[in-house]
Structure 1
Amino acid sequence: MDIVEALAARFAVLLAKIEELNLSNATVAAGIFGFLAAVCGVRVTYRWYRLSHVPGPALAGWSKYWIVRESMRGRQPIAIKEVTDKYGYDAMRMDPARDNVFSMRDEVSHTKLRAKMAAGYSGKENLSMEGTIDTQIAKLVQLIETKYLSTAHDYRPMDLGVKGQYFTLDVISDLAFGHAFGFMDKDDDVFDYLKITKSFIPIMLLLADIPALARLLHSRLMRGLLPKESDKLGFGAFIGVTNRVVAERFKPDAPQQHDMLGSFIRHGLNKEEASGEALLQVVAGSDTSATPIRAVMLNLLTNPSAYKRLRDEIDSAIATGKISSPIKNVEARELPYLQAVIKEGLRILPPAGGAFYKTVPPEGDVIDGKFIPGGTQIGSSPFGIHHSKATFGEDADIFRPERWLEAEGERLALMTNTVDMVFHSGKYQCLGKSVALMEFNKIFVELLRRFDFQLANAQKPAEITNALHEIGCEGEEKFDRLFNTPYPLTSRRASSYETMYDV
């Protein structure tokens, strides 16, 4: 029995004896309040004491306020990096029994569910995966060619940040359900998805930092405030669409489909599981892929030497016949500077920059020479780790793809394994890793071989909020001036795009 349980037992005895005393209601209430305050104080002090030997921000040992404050400011990854730089890695002090929406699930259930979904993500049962991505890239190129090419007399700015997410949303919905949601066809925010997710991210952060609020929000009392599939816009509309698609697949006469959802069902997902995973698939599979596309393009456009070197590599590969049109995934892997650019983009602005937690086993563990009691949540932030000077050099805060070509042997392996943390590892590795990398291998080549990109506002190209899983712009008035594509590069086309793709 620990100290908190002992105090609770004493409190129960005290309550049993209160009736024997002739005390006023005010006195009893004051006594109970005082006792509960003492219990809370002892509990907080005990938690602080268990981790008091771990260096870190003083406030972090007593309260979650500091991380909640930074999360709501959109600075969580940066704040964690600052703590890491000051105290060293493993310096985070968290509640020993933290339960949040990113905590590990039951391992047995997780392993079984992952096994049912792995084949669908790998492409082994969806042989048209690469062709599907090619088709959606063709639609993006067609959208740019028809609406957003500027000339000397016709200025047409385009927000590539938004269009990039339209692309990833159409890719993942096409792969998942066999047809795209049509963001690029409509050139519009279908269901107000981007608008709703942009507003939801701060709430998501708050729920992650204070799990009790998440439990309250999902209670019967608050359930009416949550999105419903009958909603016309937002997450509710998305839930409705995915539920209807899943319901169609579970009808007795439904034909088998060779997309991700079809693979999930063939491998044993029931209707409820399929509905939940289908929605998560779209949300997670679009946002986390759109972020590196934005990050890479932003950093290329603000680093002319890197931009030129990548285009030169693409031009040379075209001239020597090393790449097809459209480029094949296997061909893209053989372009060294392209691969360096992709890795550096994932490193400099990881799509999930906030803290991810692992639970210390009941018997405790020793980390960096310090004993950590069982139940403690150890948080790691890809943003902080990816900017480590010990791993990536003194210029770790700078976008410089050349570091991946200069490193060799053990150092290169360390750098690669560190950046791969953005996808996690083992049985918790991101199932969509192969899809995301295929998107990156293709989209930068297909855009840069056809268009000359230029920032619309070089003094303020973007406002970036990297709070958890999102890199976006704050303020809708700034969305339409993030990127500009002034000139088509007609000399870079071997033939018209429409003849190369079945759009």
Structure 2
Amino acid sequence: MLLLDRLVGLDLVSWTLVGLSVVLLVHLVPYLFDPHAIRKYPGPLLARLSDIWLGWVAAHGHRSERVHELHQKYGTFVRIAPNHLSISDPDALQVVYGHGTGTLKSNFYDAFVSIQRGLFNTRSRPQHARKRKIVSHIFSQKSVLEFEPHVRTHLALLFKQWDKLCEGGVKGLSGEEGEGGWRGREGRVWYDCLPWYNYLAFDIIAGDLAFGSSFGMLVACKDSAPVAVSHKAAMAAYGDSAARDIEIQHFPAVQVLNDRGEYSASLGVLPPHWRPLAKRIPWFSKGNQAVQRLAGIAVAAVAQRLANPENDRVDLLAKLQDGRDDNGDPMGREELTAEALTQLIAGSDTTSNSSCAITYHLARNPHVQRKLQDELDQALAGDDDPVATYESVKRLPYLETVINEALRIHSTSGIGLPRLVPEGGLTVCGKFFPEGTVLSVPTYTIHRDASVWGEDVEAFRPERWFEQDKVAVQKTFNPFSFGPRSCVGRNLASLELLVIVASIFRRYEFVLEDPEYELETREGFLRKPVECKVGMRRRNV
């Protein structure tokens, strides 16, 4: 009590001194003590003393670019937090993320947990092994091919909408269509293609494949999804006919997903003991609301889907229900919903972001677009179906290099994913790091390594894939991460991108209104285009 009375009686100057003392104790002492022996590595002064620097950078949406600038300034090793070292050497990938090295996900991933831990955010090796065993068979190449009809159905629906826009462009009309303004001029429709890629991706993966029915965004031309008002009530009605009557509201799912990504990526770089305080800040409060709404989308969709047990369609949820671990046990209610949510987030974001980036780069490089269209015209000659099949396009070399080059220059996951050094320490690129050190390899930066990709690393040039050393490229190209925690859905992502890009660029031609227009991006956990304004018209094929 005496101490408390003395603290209450302190004046402003005294409180300031107390605050400075706490700051010195919390930040300066660990820096001087240097428990992980990384004080010798360069980086911003504030980053060496506090996690605030990385939190600030992450919250402003350009973490990958900022860390890349630091590597250009300081070299291979950069300290981006008191206990976090970024390593920009492709050789570090196999050590930091590879099989058998024993590294674990850091507490960064705790900020991504909502319903319960899923395949993406669990930090336990046994839990991850169990979940991956259940989930991995779903994304085998054989299983993924069963999903192709759903992808092609939604692409055909997108084409109906885009053909209407193209007709308006030919007539020189102008007006509003759905959420995005568009106008017709010079035989083209000028519009922002990003929302349409969001609608397509959400209707395919987040609706049709994950939950058994489309969200209907392509039909409504609107970003909207049903959200369970009460997670508890929806989970209680799980699999029961009462689930059909759960209370729902509709929210813009894409915006919710974006807000959640920025919130979690910013919160995750802060120390765990700071996070409860950070959540009181208005910006973080908004993000926490997005987390709850995004979980509500999965809770509502799964409850509704399982209320119709007679539905025998082949989709991700059905395969998740059928999955069993080593003991023969299926996933429980919450676990099933958490995994479905993981697929919603991972599948929709990556597909829409990558499709949009590919469209931008092809519109900005007309000669590349024409070369791709020549390959598509030749390979698909005589095929009247507007939507290509995976079988017809899976071995087209230029199509593959166009997609790979876009994934190189616009990696949806560009940040260095943090890993904890295990017991016994780890040697990376000739440097030893003790147990508990956080290491990461930034994909954005290694995808711009001039020694691997050539001096023109910022140029979109698919031809480099035929020229560069294949071994160096193979060990450096990292769009789906690496090792046991790599993206389990890469087969589905590859199928989607091949079919989507081939079908769209065989049917349409895209240009930029301003040839010097730069694609603006914003990064939460994933790096996303903000908008992508293009001119589009139908091709004569």
Please report the TM-score for the alignment, with normalisation by the length of structure 2: 0.75
Q: Give me the whole-angstrom Cα distance separating, in 1, the residues matched to 2:198 and 2:370.
A: 25
Q: Give me the whole-angstrom Cα distance separating, in 1, the residues matched to 2:157 and 2:209.
A: 15
8 Å Cα contact 2:354-2:407 kept in structure 1: yes
- Given candidates 182, 186, 191, the residue that maps to 1:158 is 191
CA distance 1:333–1:88, shift in 2 (3 Å): farther
CA distance 1:227–1:72, shift in 2 (3 Å): closer
- Given candidates 239, 246, 258, the residue that maps to 2:295 is 239
| Range 398-407 or range 238-247, more displaced | 238-247
8 Å Cα contact 2:409-2:447 kept in structure 1: yes
Q: Show CA shifts across 1:277-316 (max 9, x none).
A: 2122112211111111111111111112211111111122
- 1:87 maps to what in 2? 74
Matching of residues 416-495 of structure 1 within 5 Å: 416-419=474-477, 421-460=478-517, 462-473=519-530, 479=531, 482-485=533-536, 487-489=537-539, 491-492=540-541
CA distance 1:311–1:52, shift in 2 (3 Å): same
Matching of residues 115-130 of structure 1 within 5 Å: 115-122=133-140, 124-125=142-143, 128-130=146-148
Unaligned runs of 5+ in 2: 85-105, 111-120, 174-183, 225-250, 324-329
- 2:387 maps to what in 1? 326
- 1:317 maps to what in 2? 379
Matching of residues 282-361 of structure 1 within 5 Å: 282-319=344-381, 326-361=387-422
CA distance 1:187–1:34, shift in 2 (3 Å): closer
Unaligned runs of 5+ in 1: 1-14, 229-233, 474-478, 493-503
- 1:174 maps to what in 2? 208
Question: Percent identity at matched positions?
Answer: 25
Q: Show CA shifts across 1:236-288 (max 9, x none).
A: 55533422332356569665542111111111111100111212211221111
- Given candidates 364, 380, 399, the residue that maps to 2:441 is 380
Deviation at 1:417, TM superposition (A): 3.4
CA distance 1:255–1:336, shift in 2 (3 Å): closer
Deviation at 1:68, TM superposition (A): 2.7
- Given candidates 105, 108, 111, the residue that maps to 1:100 is 108
Q: Give me the whole-angstrom Cα distance separating, in 2, the residues matched to 1:62 and 1:223.
A: 23
Q: Show CA shifts across 1:135-177 (max 9, x none).
A: 1111111110123441163304221111111111111021112
Q: Give me the whole-angstrom Cα distance separating, in 2, the residues matched to 1:34 and 1:383.
A: 37
**Partner letter of residue 285 of structure 1?**
G
Q: Give me the whole-angstrom Cα distance separating, in 2, the residues matched to 1:323 and 1:392.
A: 38
8 Å Cα contact 1:160-1:484 kept in structure 2: no
Q: Give me the whole-angstrom Cα distance separating, in 2, the residues matched to 1:43 and 1:90.
A: 20
SS in 2 for 1:460: coil
CA distance 1:157–1:366, shift in 2 (3 Å): same
SS in 2 for 1:283: helix
CA distance 1:105–1:39, shift in 2 (3 Å): same
State which structure, 1 or 2, has the greater radius of gyration over its C-alpha atoms. 1
The answer to whether structure 1 residue 25 and structure 2 residue 6 are counterparts is: yes
The answer to whether structure 1 residue 194 and structure 2 residue 194 are counterparts is: no
Deviation at 1:58, TM superposition (A): 3.6
8 Å Cα contact 2:321-2:336 kept in structure 1: yes
**Partner letter of residue 404 of structure 1?**
W
- 2:473 maps to what in 1? 415
CA distance 1:416–1:323, shift in 2 (3 Å): farther
Q: Give me the whole-angstrom Cα distance separating, in 1, the residues matched to 2:369 and 2:534.
A: 15
Q: Give me the whole-angstrom Cα distance separating, in 1, the residues matched to 2:171 and 2:385.
A: 32
- 1:67 maps to what in 2? 54
Q: Show CA shifts across 1:59-110 (max 9, x none).
A: 3221223323322332210111112223333433533386312776101001
8 Å Cα contact 2:256-2:294 kept in structure 1: no
- 1:497 maps to what in 2? none
CA distance 1:417–1:179, shift in 2 (3 Å): farther
8 Å Cα contact 2:260-2:291 kept in structure 1: no
CA distance 1:99–1:315, shift in 2 (3 Å): same
8 Å Cα contact 2:366-2:511 kept in structure 1: no
The answer to whether structure 1 residue 54 and structure 2 residue 35 are counterparts is: no
Q: Show CA shifts across 1:383-441 (max 9, x none).
A: 1110110111111111100011223xxx213213322x221233212121111111110
Deviation at 1:376, TM superposition (A): 0.8
More helix by share: 1
- 2:270 maps to what in 1? 210
Deviation at 1:127, TM superposition (A): 5.3
**Partner letter of residue 286 of structure 1?**
S
More strand by share: 2
| Range 321-330 or range 272-281, more displaced | 321-330
CA distance 1:385–1:223, shift in 2 (3 Å): closer
CA distance 1:158–1:297, shift in 2 (3 Å): same
SS in 2 for 1:401: coil
Q: Give me the whole-angstrom Cα distance separating, in 1, the residues matched to 2:404 and 2:20.
A: 56
**Partner letter of residue 69 of structure 2?**
E
Q: Give me the whole-angstrom Cα distance separating, in 1, the residues matched to 2:19 and 2:507.
A: 70
Please report the TM-score for the alignment, with normalisation by the length of structure 1: 0.80
Q: Show CA shifts across 1:329-384 (max 9, x none).
A: 23322211110000000000100112211111132222222221210110221111
